[in-house]
Amino acid sequence: MKKRVTKAVFPVAGLGTRFLPATKSVPKEIMTLVDRPLIQYAIDEARAAGIKEFIFVTARGKSALEDYFDLAPELESKLRKDGKDELLEILKTTNMDSGAIAYIRQHKALGLGHAVWCARRLIGDEPFAVMLPDDVIAAEKPCLQQMVEAHAETGGCMVAAMEVPGSKVSSYGVLDIEEDMGSIVKIKGMVEKPPVHEAPSNLAVIGRYILTPNILKNLNSIKPSAGGELQLTDAIAAETAQGNNVFGYRFRGERFDCGSKAGFLQATVSFGLARPELCEEFGQYLHDMVAMRNAAQ
């Protein structure tokens, strides 16, 4: 019987240097997309997929992130007193039950693989998800939920994947495909940021994973990359070398790279237009801006 995926690891130890000076005092993961921090989108997606235990791999300077999930008695009392029940319900979605969330420190920035390895004692001997909050995915059915449902049929390891232009494959981990079955592909290897002419496909890995505990053993045995980092893709590739099942999953939805300024702005526009209370006024503003820009040209 396959074990259910009920734990998720959130690697959030990065410094967010691409968003300086904002991230000098504000962790990137709680930068606001419309009216919710990035991490809230990841948490909501995880909850929809049945995740019950949330493991955050953090670093110094992330106390604001930890506080975000704590209770705010004074604020809740004020909202209740003022009869702002709708806002109170929204606030409750940010609270985490005692014991549901754990924080592990990654003392040195040694890569995504190392961040996952730091959580090994809390993961134990069961499959687990890894979610990168920088990747925000708009989907009718949340991406991780799609993957959990597919994983229940396949077992093994599974990575979220999407087609990217050939010119951009060198920015991603790329899948070497053994068998293409549509939404699910069986893979025989993974290459981290290959040169365009060496890429085995244009199917790129993005920040959603379902992994077996054997990945943790692989992380113990693989060698760090040239930069001294432990690459998660290397640990997953080791699974294929050992003959274990590894799958890519073509998720249904639109992914935004909120680790970049352009991606964050694109997500802001898309998510803003998707909000009924904002779409008319915001949409008209964007229309007028484009019209003015075209006229100026």
Domain of 144? 7-259
pLDDT digits (tens, 9 = 90+) for 189-198: 888 888 888 8
Residue 207: inside a domain: yes
Kindly state whether residue 295 falls inside one of the protein's structural domains: no
Q: Which CA distances in Å does 103 have to 24, 58, 201, 292? A: 21, 7, 37, 48
* pTM of the predicted model as reported, rounded to 2 decimal places: 0.89
Give me the amino acid identity at 80: R
Burial 95-126 (b: 16+ CB within 10 A, else e): eeeeeebebbebeeebbbbbbbbbbbeebeee
Q: What is the pLDDT of residue 27?
A: 85
The answer to the question of residue 293 being in a domain is: no
Of the candidates 117, 9, 122, 105, the one whose C-alpha atom is nearest the C-alpha of residue 61 is 105
199 belongs to a structural domain: yes
Please check whether residue 76 lies inside any domain of the structure: yes
Number of domains the chain contains:
1
Handedness of CA 285, 288, 294, 297 (dihedral sign): negative
pLDDT band at 205 (very low <50, low <70, confident <90, very high): very high
In a domain, 231, yes or no: yes
What's the pLDDT tens digit per position in 151-196?
A: 999 999 999 999 998 888 888 888 989 988 989 999 998 888 888 8
Residue 276 lies in a domain: no
- Cβ atoms of 125 and 79 within 8 Å: the answer is no
Q: Give me the percent of the chain exceeding a pLDDT of 70.
A: 98
pLDDT digits (tens, 9 = 90+) for 79-138: 888 888 888 888 888 877 767 888 888 888 788 899 999 999 999 889 999 999 999 999
- pLDDT of 226 reads 63
Residue 54 lies in a domain: yes
User: What are φ and ψ of residue 121, in 5° steps?
Assistant: -70, -30
Assess whether pLDDT exceeds 90 at residue 258.
yes
CATH of the domain at 142: 3.90.550.10
